[in-house]
Structure 1
Amino acid sequence: MTRRLPNFSALRAFEAAARHENFSRAAEELHLTHGAISHQVRGLEEELGRPLFVRHGRQVKITNDGLKFAQFLGKAFADIAAATDAMRAASISQRLTITSIPSFAARWLAPRLGRFIELYPDIEVVLQSSGALQDLAREGVDVGIRFGRGHYPGMVVLRLMGDVYYPVVSPHYRGGQLPVAPADLARHTLLRSVEHWTPWFNAAGLDLPEPAGGLLFEDLSMLIRSAADGNGVALVRHVVAMQEIASGQLLRLFDIASPSPDEYYFVTPPNAASKPQVQAFRDWLLEEIATFQRQQA
């Protein structure tokens, strides 16, 4: 048989009033009015069939029965608070914080993360996009996706995959009068970024100087956008530019690619490496990369 409990708001009002032995202070704590506290307590007294306070005008004194009841309620509310904290802690323990270089986060990882979330709906994923080399452990980050040489002291490091560079251009660049051979690039606008052209020039057998002057793009997404707008020829990483190539916004020029000396790495602080959500994300990411590489082959 289900026992009928008193109104929870009335119990909270009474417990606070008993603790302060003052209706006004209880009202401040619960963000109510003095009258609301008085009304709740009086309704509780009527339901219980006995007084909980002795009233002298606006002064109140708790009865012996009221004191015993308040002590039971105080313990019950403390248990509820502890259970709530435990639930919140469990929720936080299932949070997965990932930081990634912006180009990889926006163009490769984010479009695929929905599949991970479908597989692990209880994991809250926080994706941060940053090109800075953060202190992952100090900033509470579980996983960093880095593009570099794999030297990250004090971290658990796993190589994910490499990448290659090649030039791309909008099909509408110069009214469709596109470079036909690598040597033609000497007469075209080469967009600049933090990724140098010289290694690709060498792979193509060209003796051209590194482009200088004008706008320098630090964000590869902005470089790709500029190329798609027809502003010039861009040297891009395959993983970053493949969406625009697949959609026809960009065309790959020539069948020459230069391997990137930098590669993608999975980096995690040692104290986070054993977390179930980190291990699940690592395994999922490796499977996604294997599928991606098979598709590209």
Structure 2
Amino acid sequence: MAKRLPSLNVLNVFEAAARHLSFKKAAEELHISPPAVSHQIKVLEAQLGAVLFRRLNRALELTPDGEQYFQEVQGALLQLHLATDRLIEKQQPSVFRISSIPFITNSMLIPNIQSFKDEHPDLRIEIQSQVHRANFKEEQIDVAIRHIKGNEPELHYEELSPVLISPICTRAYWQNHQPNNRTTLDHHRIIRLSVDPNSWSLWQREWGINSLPNDELSLDNYQAVLDSVVQGLGLAMGYLPALKTLLQTEKLMLPFPDQITEFGQLHLVYLKSEMNNPQIQSFQIWLKQVISDISDK
């Protein structure tokens, strides 16, 4: 009986050709030539003693025998793939993938992630620090940390914390540049995060700051912005509560501590179908506690 069983390679070729009803498309999927697909099908038909395809002028059809064989082979191959995947996954640690805004990665996740890892020693954690919004299905993301809420019907947005904004600088910088008129910042340099075009204008409107200086430095990542502020190069927009720890060290200060503006919400995002996933729920509880601890400092 075993000698009559076609090879797995031939069955994969047949399944692709039957699914596409095209030798050409099957060849493209399998990265072989169309003549190679045709040859494999002829070998299979000779081995089985049955005609599987009707070869028409510009089309391909399954015969009744071919249709029945396709349904059974496709199901069997699927079971083989699933069995193989389960076995491989069993041998490997589970992976928990987090997509996060770079600034949140640096200020919240990296300093605290070891405590989450200690709670889940068998979990391999991967953090993708990126500005663009992750595609959950294509990138196999478990959770994402986002500032702006989308309207994707398949995603759940869990509110974590309000995002608050106010300018930041070093104490030395502020002592040297305190304006006599607090409604203008004409004598300062503004250090902007290029991917955030809205925070300065929002803060400016709310607190009646009439003008911003022409002297600006624009940078494309927030760590570079912070480094520039620490070097005393100017004023940057600060985001709370993520900056709370850095402000506690007194490296930086809020020159306008009474002028703080709400700037949306920080969200933990995941697929609605995964709402009862214990790993996601555990991470959500952990992250909320981290934010609470930072906010209470």
**Normalized against structure 2, the TM-score is what?**
0.63
CA contact (8 A) 1:94 1:277 kept: no
CA contact (8 A) 2:189 2:216 kept: no
2:123 is equivalent to residue 120 of structure 1: no
> Alpha carbons of 1:221 and 1:91: their partners in 2 closer, same or farther (altered >3 Å)?
farther
TM-superposed deviation, 1:199: 1.9
> Alpha carbons of 1:123 and 1:257: their partners in 2 closer, same or farther (altered >3 Å)?
farther
Counterpart Cα distance in 2 of 1:153 and 1:86: 30
> Alpha carbons of 1:259 and 1:242: their partners in 2 closer, same or farther (altered >3 Å)?
same
2:252 is equivalent to residue 253 of structure 1: no
Counterpart of 2:170 in structure 1 is 170
Q: Which amino acid aligns with 1:219?
A: N
Of 106-115 and 258-267, the range deviating more from structure 2:
258-267
Counterpart of 1:292 in structure 2 is 294
Counterpart Cα distance in 2 of 1:136 and 1:99: 9
1:177 partner SS: helix
Matched ranges for 1:222-241 at <5 A: 222-241=224-243
TM-superposed deviation, 1:92: 4.9
2:206 is equivalent to residue 203 of structure 1: yes
Q: Which amino acid aligns with 1:102?
A: P
Counterpart Cα distance in 1 of 2:293 and 2:245: 16
Cα deviations across residues 85-116 of structure 1 (Å, max 9, x unaligned)?
75641365732110101000111122111111
CA contact (8 A) 2:189 2:215 kept: no
CA contact (8 A) 2:192 2:218 kept: yes
Q: Which amino acid aligns with 1:117?
A: K
TM-superposed deviation, 1:215: 3.0
Counterpart of 2:156 in structure 1 is 156
TM-superposed deviation, 1:222: 1.4
> Alpha carbons of 1:182 and 1:220: their partners in 2 closer, same or farther (altered >3 Å)?
farther
Cα deviations across residues 121-147 of structure 1 (Å, max 9, x unaligned)?
111111110111121122111001111
Cα deviations across residues 139-188 of structure 1 (Å, max 9, x unaligned)?
111001111135343212211111111111122328x4132563362222
TM-superposed deviation, 1:235: 1.6
TM-superposed deviation, 1:248: 2.0
Q: Which amino acid aligns with 1:256?
A: D
Q: Which runs of 5+ in 2 are unaligned?
A: 1-82
Q: Which amino acid aligns with 2:89?
A: A
2:168 partner SS: strand
**Normalized against structure 1, the TM-score is what?**
0.63
Of 216-225 and 148-157, the range deviating more from structure 2:
148-157
Q: Which amino acid aligns with 1:132?
A: H
CA contact (8 A) 2:100 2:145 kept: yes
> Alpha carbons of 1:93 and 1:116: their partners in 2 closer, same or farther (altered >3 Å)?
same
Cα deviations across residues 55-104 of structure 1 (Å, max 9, x unaligned)?
xxxxxxxxxxxxxxxxxxxxxxxxxxxx9975641365732110101000
CA contact (8 A) 2:168 2:252 kept: yes
> Alpha carbons of 1:289 and 1:151: their partners in 2 closer, same or farther (altered >3 Å)?
farther
Counterpart Cα distance in 2 of 1:263 and 1:126: 24
2:223 to 202, 221, 224: 221
CA contact (8 A) 1:182 1:204 kept: no
> Alpha carbons of 1:289 and 1:251: their partners in 2 closer, same or farther (altered >3 Å)?
closer
Q: Which amino acid aligns with 1:267?
A: V
* Alignment RMSD: 2.7
CA contact (8 A) 2:98 2:126 kept: yes
Counterpart Cα distance in 1 of 2:258 and 2:145: 27
Larger C-alpha radius of gyration, 1 or 2? 1
2:267 to 262, 265, 268: 265
Matched ranges for 1:58-207 at <5 A: 88-90=88-90, 92=92, 94-173=94-173, 176-179=175-178, 182-183=182-183, 185-193=185-193, 194=196, 195-207=198-210
